[in-house]
Structure 1
Amino acid sequence: MTDQLAVACQDASTITFFTTDTWEPTTVLDVVAQPHELLFDHDRRLLLCSHAYRSGFYGDFTERAHEISLIDPDTHQVVDVIDVPHAPHGLALKDNLLHVSVEASEHEEGGIVVVDLDKRKVVDRFDVHAGGPHWVTLNGDKAYTSNKEARFVTSVDLGTKATERIEVPGSEGIASDGRRYVYVSTPVLGAQGVDRGVRVIDTEVDRVVRILPTEEYPMPVHVTGDLVLVGENSLSGNGFLSVFRDFERVARIEVGRFPLTLESSPDGRVAYVSNLMSGTVSIVDLAGLAVVKELDLATPGTAGPHGLAYLS
């Protein structure tokens, strides 16, 4: 079966499926408002989607949402919806357990809820001692959350539930290389008087050991093979995709406005950048280090493409 790229569009409350051979859209699926992040569970052949708000965005929303949609990637149908608390955002998978970062409510701190995908219910929770954990990544037996305005990343031991605070000047996207390092975009978007860049956390000691500098505000970060990909947000124009290898930048490629999520093909040859405010997805050849195609999904200026998932 032909590989697909799934793209969640926030304001439209849709997920669009593209075939990767022709880049023709095959299905536009209506889902619960508003789809945020996507993750493909290859073992169960399920596309997972978090829904954070009914409308609006972080810091300016009408009502928090509380669902994870489970979607069949072959029939393009929603097969189940799992209820979770407090504005779910980031998604990370370990075996049959889905780890979801959730915002604080009036009664609980922000944290990570754990969903058993076989039982399709919430089975555990970890507090991260921050109000707005957004992205979550796993590295070995630990989870890490980026916490927006809070001046720390939270490290959580999945066995003991013990937490550590790793000092950063606010944070956005976060990703693990699955080995030694976790990469976190800092500071929070719009912060002044702080050096912009990706802090590199050594997971053996849970502290920042170096910074990958960026000109604009880094937001999404993604690791594929030996590359670290970083979406840079400008407050006044188009964004950029910075490509790092061995802690050195090898390319800076212009993409659309407000790059928000990054994905890559399984072979690491192609990157995908969702440009929220341009209404596009940029397809980037990581060998040639250039944009080779733009997918149009939404009217520029609206909250358009958000989460991405490569389906193989």
Structure 2
Amino acid sequence: MSETSLCCPRVYCGRFAPSPTGLLHFGSLVAAVGSYLDACVHGGRWLVRIEDVDTPRAVPGAGDAILRTLEGFGFVWDGEVWRQSRRSEAYRDALARLQAAGHVYPCGCSRSEIAAVAGRKSIDGGLLYPGTCRAGLAARRTARAWRLRVPDREWRFSDRVQGEVRQNLARDTGDFVVLRADGLFAYQLAVVVDDAAQGVNAVVRGADLIDSVVRQIWLQQCLGLPAPSYAHLPVAVNAAGEKLSKQTRAPEVDVAQGSRLLCEVCAFLGHPPPINLYGAPLADFWRWAISAWSINRVPKRLKMPHHSCVGRDGLK
């Protein structure tokens, strides 16, 4: 075993939680492999959750296609697959707890109204909410969304890959939405509720989500939920420096490439496999990968170019 302990003594429970806005691409496979190997090397559980809370963006059939792709690459997960679209009652209960404790408030602002007065952008590129409704809705205004109050203080957390991360929620995100104007629950609330409900105590995912951690830690504290450890893997980008995603037309991974593509993922994560494993049976690849894995070998760079080394007929 390459790494013998986490900072938390509980039995390790990790997860892979893709959004079904498209099919599995190389960047998502990086997160799947990293989270799976880290769970395996700790002798822990590994769950799969389909994060389709944003139902308008979900592509019909994509969730099932993702599961088939994972099976085709030899992933084995524990328990049933949770789908956030079926978890509204749990999110509603969490919102009620936040409302009862005074942690959230109704917001009547439209996006255009926020844009007109927002002085700057938030850390993730959105509009920094100026706190217009924090003291209460103005006369003749109705609630469109519910926002979580954030404290004006610096937060620090230790990421298992990226090291110490600092953030001030008031300065970097502002009070953020937990229930959207369209009646859907926000990702931040859903992921915190689900991680706690499933006993997830070790989150390994892409570094594009690292700016969400402090918001999630604050939500966990407001709801009295435990905080998992976090490890944020480098994000694969294309030649233009754009994150691989549906929006950047990242191609779907081909299960037929099997261990060749999985070897490429491991090399991207700082674990170059022996050349004889490229094209080897999946069982041989996974046996080697689990024995070789150490989170300490994963590169810290937040974004890394993905140079494919697998062609239609095998290695280039």
TM-score bin (small chain):
under 0.3
Higher relative contact order (CA 8 A, sep 6+): 2
Higher relative strand content: 1
Q: Which has the larger radius of gyration?
A: 2
Higher relative helix content: 2
